[in-house]
Structure 1
Amino acid sequence: MARLVMLGTVALAIAGTPAAAQSLAPSSAQNLPPAQPNAGPNQTVPENIGVADRIRPEYYPIGGRIGSFFLFPSLTTSVIATDNVRATRDDRLSDVFALVQGRARLQSNFSRHALATEVFVDQSVHARVPSEDVTQYGTMLSGRYDISRDTKVSAQFDADHRAEDRTSYNSPIGARSPLRYDRLRGTLTGEQSLGRIDVTANFAAARLRYDDVTLLTGEFASQAFRNVDSVSAGVTIAYEFRPGVSALVRGTAQRNAYPDDGPTATQPLALIRDSRGARVEGGFRFELTSLLYGELRAGYLSQRYSDPRLSSANGLSFGGDLLWNVTPLTSIRVTADRRVDEAAQVNVAGNQVTELTTSVDHELLRNLILSGYLRYSDLQPIGPIAGSHELGGRLGARYLVNRRLSLRATLSHQLRTSPVQGFGFTENRGLLSAQLTF
């Protein structure tokens, strides 16, 4: 309890920083930063935005105004109950834990260009299994430079220290505590409009470094083989051949390098997982009847590995994101994706992932939103390991009390079926949270 009180005090001190800043009057909602495009307060159904993501001016946080910037600090306190805290098939442990999350976002309100930065600190405190306690923190800096109305350049940089979720298919089996890692990531994006043609080019680089773990048996397990440096670049060209409907083509290339990978004295047969990948897709982007929005793509992907023992991962790729505002109060979103993800085993180069999700949001009251979510994933490892399947679902409600306070409750279920020993699991989880935004 003393730890919870201390954490709450520190987070409140962070969140209370803008108290001396000039606050906006409640009637000044039109001066809020443009957090969402096309989300004007007088629109019955904002364009291309689902029910759960809409700005509701009467409940939008006031924030603190500092010159041409707005500061939005928040503090979220959650109580979470789980019947399988380590996400294991055997030796299941139930637990109740508190999660305290502090955020502070500083965002510009320029007529042109944009600049934003954010810092966060998260701390979990478990009642039964204290080895599951984790501290996560990080920062983000982003900006956009409007060269002209048709030409924009944006960039973002993230640096954070995180813990891998126990339900992740990359989480080490049998680890005493969640795996910690450090991540640096930067992206650079350029956008150019040429009449009916829109061109978007992007470049990204990331560096991940993983801490070692101790197993429940007391053995030490190095995770250095997972350290990875990756770079990627892509171009998307969209041509609007009729109002609201565009044809597009997208090409991306990626390179992954594992500096500490390959055979060792303890793992003489470990793979060299350095790889180069490419993905080319074509499709459509559409806006129909002001209620149906989406993007559908299909094409071909290839991932080639440096190790001669590994075959290339080639085949169909696809992606889709469909939003249907069924009524002004109900939204349905469906997404689909097929890709190659990195793996966390020395004898597996990656995972071919096929993922489908669907979500439904309904505005029961102006300040009460009900939500449902369902996800299915098929995981096929590139290596001598059998495939797995994941299924997850969630029901939730969010109640907006006022501009400063919102409450949330969710019930979720997740399972993984796998012939691999110790890889499958089921988990049920309940959450109650309160978010205070200044």
Structure 2
Amino acid sequence: MGAKRGLSAVGAVLLAMGATAAAAQSGGRPDPFARERGTAVRDRPQPNYQPVGARLGGFVLHPKVEAATEVVDNLYAAPDDPVADSVLRLSAGATLRSAWSRHAVSVTADGGVRLHASERREDSADGRLDVSGRLDLTRDMDVDLGARLSRRAEPRGAVDAPDVSAEPIVVEARELDLQGRRVVGRVRATLRAEHRAFDFRDGETEAGGEIDQDHRDRAATRLIGRADYAVTPALALFVQAGADRRDYRRSDGRDSAGVETLAGVDFEMGALVRAQVAAGHVQQDFDDPTVRDIDGLAADARVEWFPTSLTTVTFSGERTVEDAERVGAAGALSSRFGLTVDHELLRNLILTARLGWRRQAFNDADRRDRRFTAALEAVYLINRRYGVSLTASREQRLSQGTAAGAAFEINRLAGALVARF
């Protein structure tokens, strides 16, 4: 029933978009959905410190190399007897972007290794290939396409990572996106389709036994429809409806269909505030009738405040349903909040402070997790090609309930040298 209601909601949104768009006329007016009066610190152009790249016909190539070192005081996210280690991170990649007046194509490939000074079994390698493009069909209509392949080592302390694995679990992901967007007068219509597939490689215990991870393999497909109406050039109202399907290789009662509906506002207040805030309802219905469904308040918010031209304060929040593979739970209602302050101390020196909070309430399991994160970062651009960064961070997890997980704290200090061309 949940999937049917979701598809009906998406259809209703699309019908409303089509009917309103057919009645509107563009008239060659400026984009009523542009929110460009305020500029975030990290979005501000820095022509004296931006890499030029290599021109290859109608494309520009931007290579990047990074070397970083990190000290961590609790490598295994253990509740007791933490193990400290130092890590060397080496990565390299490149982005090839089109420089056309219409349409766009971008290809990014990168990879890296993490080498540990003492705990060599924690060494890992990752990689990513990202291809995206935009087709400008008309002046007011475009289509975005994206495809990504990635391979990464799951971090210790991840909520679903097996505690007894001698090495990090490797996750391979395949992602596809297709989005169409049209603006007609005061109406913007958007339809988006997403597909995500995750393959978790098996782990191994200290004794050499296999840790089967096939039960975590899954594919998720989502369809989202959205309609925006510009009340004024600085204020728009929108409605959004999405339906998703989540299928596991080995179900164990976790296959499900979900519905999320949101209504919100997208606005800016001069050059002082830019925001998008939405609230609604989310529901995830599981195929197995013995598994408890999840439903509740859904929310999505991002507010940027520009107290001065040199400082940006960003608040973000989200409440949605997440997958969970822990024994006894099929999903979790997750709430996230974040606060970031960016300050441009010098033209080429940006200071950042971040705070994060996340709460997960699991269905069919008496467990509630809370995770706190905090970080301080300084990024100094030496010139167009070279930059350095220094980051200090802290992560803490608390877990409550009869099925509670282990609590832990992790502190990290990292420094990096980046070369961009």
TM-score over 0.5 for the alignment? yes
What residue identity is the alignment partner of 2:180? G
Instruction: Tell me the SS of whatever aligns to 1:52.
Output: helix
**Selected match of 1:330 from 288, 301, 311:** 311
Aligned-pair distance for 1:123?
Answer: 0.4
* Correspondence for 1:344: 325
Aligned-pair distance for 1:355?
Answer: 0.6
**Does residue 395 of structure 2 align to residue 405 of structure 1?**
no
Aligned-pair distance for 1:216?
Answer: 3.8
Aligned-pair distance for 1:260?
Answer: 2.2
> Following superposition of structure 1 onto structure 2, how do residues 256-275 of structure 1 map, counting pairs within 5 Å?
256-262=246-252, 272-275=253-256
> Following superposition of structure 1 onto structure 2, how do residues 127-166 of structure 1 map, counting pairs within 5 Å?
127-166=117-156
* Correspondence for 1:250: 240
Instruction: Work out the CA distance in 2 between the residues paired with 1:258 and 1:75.
Output: 37
What residue identity is the alignment partner of 1:337? E
* Correspondence for 1:230: 220
Contact 1:354 1:377 in 2 (8 A): yes
Aligned-pair distance for 1:281?
Answer: 0.5
Instruction: Work out the CA distance in 1 between the residues paired with 2:63 and 2:393.
Output: 28
Instruction: Work out the CA distance in 1 between the residues paired with 2:62 and 2:368.
Output: 44
Contact 1:177 1:213 in 2 (8 A): yes
* Correspondence for 1:54: 44
Aligned-pair distance for 1:224?
Answer: 0.2
**Does residue 416 of structure 2 align to residue 426 of structure 1?**
no
Moved more, 335-344 or 172-181: 172-181
Aligned-pair distance for 1:52?
Answer: 2.3
**Does residue 286 of structure 2 align to residue 305 of structure 1?**
yes
CA distance 1:341–1:421, shift in 2 (3 Å): closer
Instruction: Tell me the SS of whatever aligns to 1:178.
Output: coil
Moved more, 428-437 or 218-227: 218-227
Contact 1:75 1:103 in 2 (8 A): yes
Contact 1:283 1:298 in 2 (8 A): yes
CA distance 1:142–1:367, shift in 2 (3 Å): same
Aligned-pair distance for 1:422?
Answer: 4.9
CA distance 1:92–1:395, shift in 2 (3 Å): same
Contact 1:90 1:422 in 2 (8 A): no
Contact 1:253 1:278 in 2 (8 A): yes
* Correspondence for 2:377: 396
Aligned-pair distance for 1:217?
Answer: 5.4
Q: Deviations over 1:15-63 (max 9, x none)?
A: xxxxxxxxxxxxxxxxxxxxxx999xxxxxx645421232211100111
Contact 1:225 1:346 in 2 (8 A): no
Instruction: Tell me the SS of whatever aligns to 1:57.
Output: coil
* Correspondence for 1:374: 355
Aligned-pair distance for 1:87?
Answer: 1.2
Instruction: Work out the CA distance in 2 between the residues paired with 1:69 and 1:195.
Output: 33
Instruction: Work out the CA distance in 2 between the residues paired with 1:38 and 1:85.
Output: 44
What residue identity is the alignment partner of 2:310? L
What residue identity is the alignment partner of 2:73? D
Instruction: Work out the CA distance in 2 between the residues paired with 1:171 and 1:53.
Output: 35
Moved more, 217-226 or 201-210: 217-226
**Does residue 309 of structure 2 align to residue 319 of structure 1?**
no
Instruction: Work out the CA distance in 1 between the residues paired with 2:316 and 2:405.
Output: 29
Instruction: Tell me the SS of whatever aligns to 1:273.
Output: coil
Calculate the TM-score normalised by the size of structure 2. Answer: 0.89
Instruction: Tell me the SS of whatever aligns to 1:418.
Output: strand
Calculate the TM-score normalised by the size of structure 1. Answer: 0.86
Contact 1:386 1:418 in 2 (8 A): yes
* Correspondence for 1:78: 68
**Selected match of 1:170 from 156, 160, 174:** 160
Aligned-pair distance for 1:66?
Answer: 0.3
Q: Quick one: percent identity of the two aligned structures? A: 28
**Does residue 181 of structure 2 align to residue 191 of structure 1?**
yes
Aligned-pair distance for 1:86?
Answer: 1.2
Instruction: Tell me the SS of whatever aligns to 2:48.
Output: helix
Instruction: Work out the CA distance in 2 between the residues paired with 1:94 and 1:163.
Output: 19
Instruction: Tell me the SS of whatever aligns to 1:58.
Output: coil
Q: Deviations over 1:280-318 (max 9, x none)?
A: 010100011122101000000000001111121011111
* Correspondence for 1:209: 199
Moved more, 204-213 or 215-224: 215-224
Instruction: Work out the CA distance in 1 between the residues paired with 2:310 and 2:180.
Output: 35
Contact 1:415 1:424 in 2 (8 A): yes
Contact 2:366 2:404 in 1 (8 A): no
**Selected match of 1:415 from 389, 396, 401:** 396
Instruction: Work out the CA distance in 2 between the residues paired with 1:316 and 1:422.
Output: 25
RMSD in angstroms over aligned alpha carbons? 1.6
Instruction: Work out the CA distance in 2 between the residues paired with 1:222 and 1:423.
Output: 21
Instruction: Work out the CA distance in 2 between the residues paired with 1:360 and 1:55.
Output: 18
Q: Deviations over 1:114-164 (max 9, x none)?
A: 001011111000001011111101211110000111000010000111111
Moved more, 172-181 or 213-222: 213-222
* Correspondence for 2:7: none
Moved more, 293-302 or 163-172: 163-172
Larger relative CO (CA 8 A, sep 6+): 1 or 2?
Answer: 2
Aligned-pair distance for 1:331?
Answer: 0.4
What residue identity is the alignment partner of 2:238? L
* Correspondence for 2:368: 387
CA distance 1:195–1:321, shift in 2 (3 Å): same
Contact 2:146 2:178 in 1 (8 A): yes
